[in-house]
Amino acid sequence: MQYVELEVVRYAAGMLAAAEEAGHTLVCKSQPCERPIAYLVPDATPPGGDGQDVEQRPAIVCREHLEEMLGHAPEEQPL
């Protein structure tokens, strides 16, 4: 089971709405990457951590980077 705190959803939705309103396209937060975002990962681990006390935080990434994190293609997520 997966769960996402609503504050995370609210934050992401607000960011998306603001960007859309301003006519901006948000891009993937993984670097270097300029692809448009496609997924919110609520508990992403920042790259470069040493595995100890790595803080998990939400990340907004493109499909390719999500696939890289998962190690396989993301599943369809019907609403």
| Nearest alpha-carbon partner for 8 in 44, 39, 38, 40 | 40
CB closer to Zn ion, 5 vs 74: 74
Q: How far is the CB of 36 from Zn ion (least distance, A)?
A: 9
Give Cα 51 to chain centroid, integer Å.
Answer: 20
46 is written with which tokens? Answer: 């920042």
How many residues sit in the footprint of Zn ion (CB under 5 A)? 6
Residues 15-74 that bind Zn ion (CB under 5 A): 28, 30, 33, 35, 62, 65
Specify the DSSP class assigned to residue 27: B
Number of residue whose CB is nearest Zn ion: 28
Q: Check if the beta carbon of residue 68 is closer than 8 Å to that of residue 61.
A: no
Q: How far is the CB of 1 from Zn ion (least distance, A)?
A: 26
Interface residues with Zn ion (CB under 5 A) are 28, 30, 33, 35, 62, 65
